[in-house]
Amino acid sequence: MLYKREYGKEQPYIPLGIFKVRLPIIHYKWEWSEFFQAILMCATCLGAIPVLTEVLGVSNDIAWSMVIINGILYVLHSLLGDPVVPGWITPSIPLTIAFLSNYIIGVERTQALVALQLEVGIIFLIFGITGMASKVITNVPRSLKAGILLGAGIASIFGEFKEGGRFGIYPIAVTAGILLAYFLLFSHRFRALRKKNKFIDKLGSFGMLPAVALAIIIGPLVGELPIPNIEIGTFIKLPDIAGIIKTLSPFSIGFPSLSVFIQAVPMAVMAYIIAFGDFVTSESLVNESNNSRQDELIDFNANRSNLVSAVRNLIQGLFSPYTQLSGPLWAAVTASISQRYKDGKKAMDSLVGGMGTFRWTTMLAVATIPIVTLVQPVLPVALSLTLLVQGYICTRLAMDICETETDKGIAGVMGTVIVAKSAAWGLAVGIIMYVLLSGRKTVKAEEKVESSISEIDKKSLLK
């Protein structure tokens, strides 16, 4: 039986402390557009396979099994009331790989990853349990929030276009895919066309799906990607849990030494600083969705998101350490679903329904052999597209957050330092600039603006 939402209220749920348990079909409608989008977008999730095999030296079968387990853990967010699509701590991946390269591939490197992921999980846990996460999100100045978002956005785009980036390897497929993705997701002209044509409106309801499909078609035609070799024999891939535990779990290979845990601390802190940008992005996207419609109240709680992210990282650190780590947000897809949600209740009944449908579907898709073999050739291009869309979203949100000229200047410098040096350097520079440039009058003016915006938001929700 489907529980119906009262106008202006939250989607029904089963209360469980800070968590809000929701099951698909029972607590929210199944959104078919997100279902079909997830089938092809699972290619990005599967993009972890070549990284895992190269960095950890595991077999393709073990890496695929690790992706399936990661997909199961993704579902925890929508299951426990987090209204976003979770993902990796994507910008930290090159930093994580650089950290792991200091250790010999095999047991030594795996133990270093175990130490890192367990520490990241503990940081998430501390911020979630103490309630510090929500306080930090609320009290961090706009200029610093914008700087974090700007740094994450520029890093995502720069990584694809720099020497050795995926754009140089798949220029035609990436160009065609990203132009279509930008047009479908962000073009005002396309939104106007959707109102006039039913086919175009339907096309727009599938988010990034058409862009990935176009890359699958164009890539082989121009010789940048191989033709998919779809396997239709065995239908479901069962993860080799015993093999993963034997190869990677600290219960089998031994726990890292104290010195390795100490060496991993700076990288763990940087990973959380980067993930903090995802919380800022999540809050911004949810606020935009709340302001766009009055029929549903969407509750984003940074403490809850931290706790779920902590559980994922701790489980993986103990049984299936993951080079991508477990982050609170897949910005590109969350924004894509949020964009369709803004089209009204006919387009999507509930935001949590769209987010939940997507993640339940990817959980199944990454274990479905015909789907995996279909999208396997396009894995690097799909990853490139999602990073380029994430870059657009983060830079746009960063500019929206800025209220004053000082905000813009601090954000610009801070974002650049994040890309050029590291997240830790960028945060330090941002804090110093904020203290130097934002006097008490500026702070009071910002608080007054935030108070006014908050009052407007409250009034719009009560209409």
What is the token pair recorded at 63? 């890496």
The Cα–Cα gap between 74 and 312 comes to: 8
Closest CA to 102 of 329, 273, 259, 327: 259
| pLDDT for residue 321 | 97
Instruction: List phi, psi (to 5°) of 156.
Output: -60, -45
Closest CA to 381 of 47, 36, 42: 47
CB 351 within 8 A of CB 295: no
Q: Where are the domains of the chain?
A: 27-403
Write the CA distances from 195 to 192, 198, 334, 340, 357, integer angstroms: 5, 8, 23, 13, 25
pLDDT in tens, the chain (463 residues): 567 888 989 999 999 999 999 999 999 999 998 998 898 888 888 988 988 998 999 999 999 999 999 999 999 999 999 999 999 987 778 778 888 988 999 999 999 999 999 999 999 999 999 988 777 777 778 888 888 888 878 888 888 898 888 899 999 999 999 999 999 888 889 888 888 888 888 787 777 888 888 988 999 999 998 988 888 777 899 999 999 999 999 999 999 999 999 999 888 887 888 788 788 788 888 888 888 888 999 999 989 999 999 999 999 999 999 999 999 988 778 888 988 898 888 889 999 999 999 999 999 999 999 999 888 888 888 888 888 887 888 888 888 888 899 999 999 999 898 888 877 788 889 889 999 998 555 555 555 555 554 454 444 434 4
Closest CA to 71 of 226, 234, 261, 239: 239
Cβ neighbors of 353 (< 8 A, separation 6 or more) are: 11, 24, 28, 29, 30, 31
What is the token pair recorded at 42? 């699972």
| pLDDT for residue 457 | 47
Instruction: List phi, psi (to 5°) of 9.
Output: -105, 175
**15: β partners:** 20
Give Dmax (Cα) for the chain.
69
> Any idea what DSSP says for residue 28?
B
- In this structure, which amino acid lies at residue 399? M
> Any idea what DSSP says for residue 86?
-
SS3 content of the chain, % helix, strand, coil (to 5): 70, 5, 25
| pLDDT for residue 453 | 46
Cβ neighbors of 68 (< 8 A, separation 6 or more) are: 237, 239, 366, 367
Cβ neighbors of 364 (< 8 A, separation 6 or more) are: none
Write the CA distances from 323 to 115, 248, 264, integer angstroms: 12, 12, 13
| pLDDT for residue 24 | 93
H or E element in which residue 14 lies: strand 14-16
